[in-house]
Structure formats: C-alpha cells, structure tokens
C-alpha cells in the first residue's frame, strides 16, 4: 500500500501529521476503521498508527518512523477555564527492559534511540465520547531541550543504578525528577524477572511526569503567559550539579537562622501571616521572584512541605493530605490510587524548629517514601477502603466531661500503623462527602470529610533524623 506521506522524509511526516489538527479520527481515517475493535485505554494511539499513518502498532526497540528516527506518541489533554491546555496524565514512553538497560549507557540506550525525536499528537479528552470523535488539538515534533536532557540523563542513570543493584522491584517515580519509571501493565500482577535479584519486579516504562508534559504542551501551544524562574541557568550548570545539590547549597547559608534573620538577609518583604508565606520564603531563599513559579519544581512535580518542629524534634502537627471521596476510594485499587500517586512524588521538606518562641531553619531534605514503607501504607489504605465499602465507619459514641457526644470510627489510627493514619480533615462535622453505602450504625448517607495523615513521629524519625545510607 502506498503511504500518503514519505516515511524517509521528516518534513513529509510532520506535514501529514499536522493535517490532523482540529479533526477527529473518524473524519480523517479510512471508513474500514469502523469494522475493527478499538475499545480500551491506549487504543487511540493504535488506531492512529494503523488507520492514519498506515503501519501496524508494535513495541519494537526502534522508533516508529525508523528511517528518520522519530517516535509517534499521542496523549489526552484537559482544557482549563481560561482555555489553556494541560496534560491529563503522564506521557508513557517505552517499556524498561531490565536485562538490557544495565548493559547500556545513556547515549546508546534504548530510551534515547526510541525517544530522541517525538512526534506528539495531543487530543482533547471528553468523558463519554467515542475515541474516534475526540478532537486533535496540538501536533508537533519535540526533542529534548539541552538543559532538560542533562536532568533526564541523571534520572535515567538513577533508574538504571537501582536495577543494577537488584532493586527493580523498589523503583518509584519519586526517585527521579523529570523522567519517571511508571508501572505499565494490565494490573498489579504484571511482573517480570530482573537481572540481579530473584524478586519479581513490576513491569515499568519510562515516562515524562505530568508536570513535565505540561511544559511541553505550553511550548507547542505557544503559551507564554506563565513565567517561570529557573534554578538551573545553563546546560553547563546542569552537567555539574543536580537539582537537589543546587537547592541544598542555596539553603545552607540560612541554616540556624531565625525567620526574621532570613528575611533580613534576603532583603525580601513578606507578610508572615499570609497563607503563602512559607512558599514565598522558599522562593526568596532560592533566588526566585515571588510572582514566578519554580520551573524545575513544576516540571518534577516536587511537593514542598514546611514542617515546624517542637524543641524535642517532634513536628508540631501530623502531616495531612487532600481529603478522599468515599464514593471514589471504593472503586480504586491501591496501584492506581490517589494516595499512592501522591506518596510516589518527590518531596522537599523544609524543617523549622521552635527555639525560645522563634522559628529557626534547621535543614532541608529531598525525600520520597521507601518501598518498604509504601507496603505498610498500603495496609492503611486497604483497611480504610474496606471499612467504607462495608458501611462500618462508626464503631460507637463517646461523651466528654462537658456532655458533648462524638463518634468513634473504625478507621486506622496511630496504633494501627507507625507511618500513617486516617482522621477528619474538615471545617466541622457537617462538612461531608456522600457515602457509597449507608453507615450501619448511624444510618447516615454521608460522613465528615477524612484524609490520610503521616504520623508526626514518622516524619521525625524517618525523614528529619534519619541519615541516608547509600
């Protein structure tokens, strides 16, 4: 079959691809498309390959357009109220071959061969629409910006080292900055062998984190409204030091200083009672203008957490996360749960400590939850899900000395786990979410909002005080 473009001419492929813009697959593909089954996740890309570009979908190590070394990737968008586009999910690239990658260096890796040049096709996700009717919004070729490439190189090396150490089963997206190793398989039982351990490892693929994809989308769409401040000014700097090293180096001169002294030294005026105070103080220390976001943090989806420690090193509070919806958690599985996704991010902890009623900066620390701890948190999450599904949230009532009656729940408490627990996170008891099943004891159809928390003792022992041994 003669193709409607020249597969050995990059410009011809890109021009043909750009004809898709503003159209759906139903409008541009051969009518025989309707005779084929195309339901299920990931099939947009398969239909695109087979019925528009005219080649059979494959999972070979070389790029899709092998003659010009260009890979084809499609991904869904969501549209914001201001009409700007954002990524709906991470961009999944090629499967990681645990046995091959440990014998490769970055320049000759399967990853680079496959992804050095990518033809990106973004379509607008609309719930309930047939994939053939989704409108393609953005089409363009993309390749690694030189500074990003250095960060991605280090991410690739971090992933490879973990595999070489026999820890492919412990890989986490929180290990790295821009390039992640996401799970890729039908379910949690999609595992494969790894070279230096007998423990089966989940199948994983390289992926660009959602925050990173947003920057790709903004560059293709020509959105220049969002202004970012950079931590890494040049390729030269990116080759020398990691994001982590740069951040810690900028914070170190302020260790042992009070908030007042830090403000004085940075010369930045801030409202200490504002909700954004600690976020702005971090920007001031890092030398980022207050009206700008930190580009590298946005791309890497780094979660910044400010912790205030009491004089005994115990955080003043447990650490909360967003509330979960009861009707949603019962339909999740742990692998794809919102809470696991959050915990697999990379965190930057900024620790302040009370000293004679003044807050003193002690240290900063990059952290992501170790594999063994994630296994324990899974138990907390699973118990929570089971309690909601059974309608057994309330276990009884207790009355305080003032005669006020409160409900006691079956949710996992601090005694259940040394890492995490569940408790309310709401304005008051009437701030609720609907229940998928009526609570057996109270007969209520809704319940006060709850969320997962990290225990303050865990934050102290495993993050603040723990010395990394690597």
Give DSSP secondary structure letters for 73-139. Answer: EEEEEEE-TTS-EEESS-EEEEEP-HHHHTT--GGGSHHHHHHSEEEEEEEE--TT--GGGPPEEEE
Domain shared by 32 and 87, yes or no = yes
**What CA–CA distance (Å, rounded) separates 11 from 6?**
9
Give the pLDDT score at 467: 79
In a domain, 3, yes or no: no
39: left (phi over 0), alpha (psi -120 to 50) or beta: beta
Domain shared by 300 and 197, yes or no = no
Q: Which residue in the block uniquely carries the two structure tokens 């991605």?
A: 152
Number of domain units in the chain: 3
**What CA–CA distance (Å, rounded) separates 184 from 133?**
26
Domain boundary (169, 202, 221) is at 221
Give the pLDDT score at 106: 98
In a domain, 470, yes or no: no
**What CA–CA distance (Å, rounded) separates 96 from 162?**
12
Coil, helix or strand for 19? coil
Mark the ranges of the chain whose per-residue pLDDT is less than 70: 1, 34-42, 186-188, 224-226, 468-470
| C-alpha triplet 88, 91, 94: angle, nearest 5° | 155
Give the pLDDT score at 38: 63
User: For residue range 67-89, what is the model confidence (pLDDT) as tens digits?
Assistant: 999 999 999 999 988 888 999 99
Domain boundary (201, 221, 241) is at 221
Provide the token pair at 185. Answer: 């398989």
In a domain, 1, yes or no: no
Domain shared by 71 and 204, yes or no = yes
* Closest listed residue to residue 442, CA positions, set 390, 407, 401: 407
Domain shared by 173 and 294, yes or no = no
In a domain, 2, yes or no: no
In a domain, 214, yes or no: yes
**What CA–CA distance (Å, rounded) separates 158 from 176?**
7
Domain shared by 440 and 300, yes or no = no
In a domain, 110, yes or no: yes
Give the pLDDT score at 470: 39
In a domain, 4, yes or no: no
Domain shared by 322 and 435, yes or no = no
CA distances from 55 to 72, 110, 153, 157 (A): 11, 21, 31, 33
Domain shared by 313 and 192, yes or no = no
Give the pLDDT score at 188: 65
Domain boundary (173, 200, 221) is at 221
The answer to whether 210 and 89 have CB atoms below 8 angstroms apart is yes
User: H/E element holding 438?
Assistant: none
Domain shared by 16 and 161, yes or no = yes
Provide the token pair at 159. Answer: 């992933």
In a domain, 113, yes or no: yes
The answer to whether 243 and 304 have CB atoms below 8 angstroms apart is no
b/e sequence 106-129, b meaning 16+ C-beta within 10 Å: eeebbbbbbbebbbbbbbbbeeee
Give the pLDDT score at 60: 78
What is the CATH number for 152? 3.40.600.10
pTM of the model: 0.92
Domain shared by 141 and 272, yes or no = no
Q: In what order do the strands lie in the sheet with 450-454?
A: 319-323, 450-454, 420-424
**What CA–CA distance (Å, rounded) separates 222 from 225?**
9
Domain shared by 211 and 107, yes or no = yes
Task: Specify which residues 208 forms β-bridges with.
Answer: 91, 179
The answer to whether 412 and 422 have CB atoms below 8 angstroms apart is yes
Give the pLDDT score at 148: 97
Domain that holds residue 70: 10-221
Give the pLDDT score at 469: 45
Domain shared by 460 and 415, yes or no = no
Task: Specify which residues 319 forms β-bridges with.
Answer: 454
Give the pLDDT score at 31: 76
Domain shared by 155 and 35, yes or no = yes
């Amino acid at each position: 079959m003669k193709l409607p473009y020249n597969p050995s001419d990059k410009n011809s492929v890109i021009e043909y691809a750009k004809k898709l813009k503003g159209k759906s697959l139903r409008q541009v593909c051969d009518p025989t498309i309707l005779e084929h089954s195309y339901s299920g996740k990931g099939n947009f890309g398969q239909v695109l390959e087979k019925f528009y570009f005219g080649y059979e979908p494959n999972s070979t190590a070389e790029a899709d357009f092998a003659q010009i070394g260009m890979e084809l990737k499609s991904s869904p968008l969501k549209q914001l109220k201001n009409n700007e586009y954002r990524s709906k999910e991470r961009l999944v690239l090629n499967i990681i071959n645990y046995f091959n990658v440990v014998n490769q260096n970055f320049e000759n890796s399967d990853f680079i061969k496959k992804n050095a040049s990518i033809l990106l096709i973004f379509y607008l996700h609309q719930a309930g629409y047939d994939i053939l009717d989704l409108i393609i919004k953005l089409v363009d070729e993309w390749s690694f910006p030189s500074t990003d490439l250095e960060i991605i190189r280090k991410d690739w090396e971090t992933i490879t080292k973990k595999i070489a150490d026999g820890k492919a089963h412990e890989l986490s997206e929180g290990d790295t900055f821009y390039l992640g190793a996401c799970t890729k398989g039908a379910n949690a039982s999609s595992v494969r062998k790894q070279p230096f351990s007998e423990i089966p490892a989940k199948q994983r693929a390289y992926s660009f984190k959602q925050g990173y994809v947003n920057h790709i989308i903004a560059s293709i769409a020509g959105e220049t409204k969002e202004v970012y401040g950079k931590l890494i000014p040049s390729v030269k700097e990116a080759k020398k030091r990691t994001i982590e090293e740069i951040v810690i180096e900028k914070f170190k001169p302020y260790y042992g200083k009070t908030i007042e002294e830090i403000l004085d030294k940075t010369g930045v005026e801030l409202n200490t009672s504002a909700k954004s105070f600690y976020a702005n103080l971090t920007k001031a220390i890092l030398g980022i203008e207050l009206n700008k976001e930190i580009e590298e943090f946005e791309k890497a989806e780094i979660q910044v957490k400010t912790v205030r420690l009491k004089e005994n090193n115990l955080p003043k509070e447990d650490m909360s996360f967003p509330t979960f919806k009861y009707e949603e958690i019962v339909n999740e599985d742990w692998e794809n749960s919102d809470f696991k996704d959050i915990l697999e991010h990379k965190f930057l902890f900024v620790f302040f400590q009370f000293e004679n009623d003044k807050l003193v900066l002690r240290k900063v620390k990059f952290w992501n939850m170790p594999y063994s701890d994630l296994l324990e948190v899974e138990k907390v999450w699973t118990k929570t899900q089971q309690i909601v599904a059974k309608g057994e949230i309330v276990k009884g009532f207790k009355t305080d000395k003032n005669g006020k009656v409160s409900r006691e729940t079956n949710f996992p408490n601090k005694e259940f786990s040394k890492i995490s627990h569940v408790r309310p996170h709401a304005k008051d008891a009437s701030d609720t979410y609907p229940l998928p099943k009526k609570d057996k004891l109270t007969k209520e159809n809704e319940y006060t909002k709850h969320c997962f928390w990290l225990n303050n003792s865990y934050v102290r022992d495993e993050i603040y005080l723990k010395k990394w041994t690597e």
